[in-house]
Amino acid sequence: MRNAIRQAMTRATAATLGLALAIGMTAPAYAGPHMLVDIRSGKVIEHEDAFQKWYPASLTKLMTAYVAFRQVKSGKWTMQTPIVMTKRAAAEPPSKLGLKPGQALTLDDALKVLLVKSANDVAYAIAENLGGTMPNYVAMMNAEARRLGMNSTNFINPHGLPGGGQYTTARDLAVLVLAIKREFPQYSGYFSLEGVQVGKRKFGNYNKLIARFDGADGMKTGYICASGYNQVSTATRNGKAVISVVLGSDSLAGRTVLSADLLQKGLTEGTGFGDPTVYKLKPYGAARDQVSDISEMMCRKRGKKKKVVRSESTDEVGDKKTSPWVHQLTRPLAMAQITIIPAGKDSAAAEADAAVEEVADAGLLVVNGRKVSVPVPQPRPVN
């Protein structure tokens, strides 16, 4: 009974938002479109406004990564291909890694930073290096979207910063995730990293289900004012694997809780044989072709012109929502080490430099790339 009431309230609130957007009103906070899909069968377990066009924000980077995977599979590039930071890429707004033009990462490390730190400068650099130009890479992203049947999706950049013509749907994102999971299982580890470390800087994954929800193994989060808090999540447990898509949550905590609730339902409850697959679900929603923009709700104080400062790394709303399925992490995050390639050096030289730096404090030497227990000679004292 409680679930039925909640579902009815969600539908009513979504209808209110659609009306508000149509007439320019400020709508109340709510959980926007969402979807739950079984990975193995592709069956849709639950959906709400699955075809409503929405700003993807940094969920765009899922397609950025997918195109890179396809390029590597074709043999054009490898995971050791250097991704050199250009002047244009370095100028992209945060979130960013902050590399200087000429510095580089291997594609392997660039993808780790892309999916954990959600670095916009790295996304742009991947596009320029693998596509020749950013527009060429975006054209590749859109071509892949069409090939996969993501018929309500269009990209204008590789990172998801807002702009006209950038949109997707919960249904299309589920289709993309199925493609990633099925075509590239060897790259699943990129989406489940707890964090990355670049020098002394450590960045935890914005996906707060990783290492905190039993079975969580991906995938990506995103936030801009126009979209609210978005999250695509995957989890595997006891032979079941599911995808949840949450768009337009009003807080970081809210999207975490709803994502966890959906994943738990998908992992513990069965689905009927008559459920349609994500590919056969028929489009619905009278206002689905209008791209929803919830900027006024998300980033302006009620009744005031002043902008509210919000981000993906902190939840300024002070939301105390919790989930019984998300537990506290009582250990440090496991960090993947990222090597910055200095301008003019190749990746092998950069890795050697990183190894020297890593063991310098331990009083060890590196010989032919291997750590050896030889004390580093110390200068004699001056008499």
Just list the catalytic residues. Answer: 58, 61, 118
Helix (H) / strand (E) containing 104: strand 104-106
Q: How many CA atoms lie within 13 A of 250 on its CB side?
A: 14
Report d(CA 359, CA 266) in Å as an integer. Answer: 46
Q: Which residues of 175-200 are buried (b: 16+ CB within 10 A; e: fewer)?
A: bbbbbbbeebeebeebbbbbbbebee
Q: Which residues of 43-81 are buried (b: 16+ CB within 10 A; e: fewer)?
A: bbbbbbbbbbbbbbbbbbbbbbbbbbbbbbeeeebeeeb
Rg of the Cα atoms in the chain: 22
191 by DSSP, 3-state: which?
helix
User: Which sign, positive or negative, has the C-alpha torsion 67, 165, 154, 278?
Assistant: positive
Nearest alpha carbon to residue 219 among 202, 238, 205? 205
245 by DSSP, 3-state: which?
strand
Around Cβ 269, how many Cβ atoms within 10 Å? 11
153's tokens: 């999706």
243's tokens: 């995808």
Report d(CA 230, CA 325) in Å as an integer. Answer: 19
Report d(CA 184, CA 175) in Å as an integer. Answer: 14
Q: What's phi and psi for 293, nearest 5 deg?
A: -135, 110
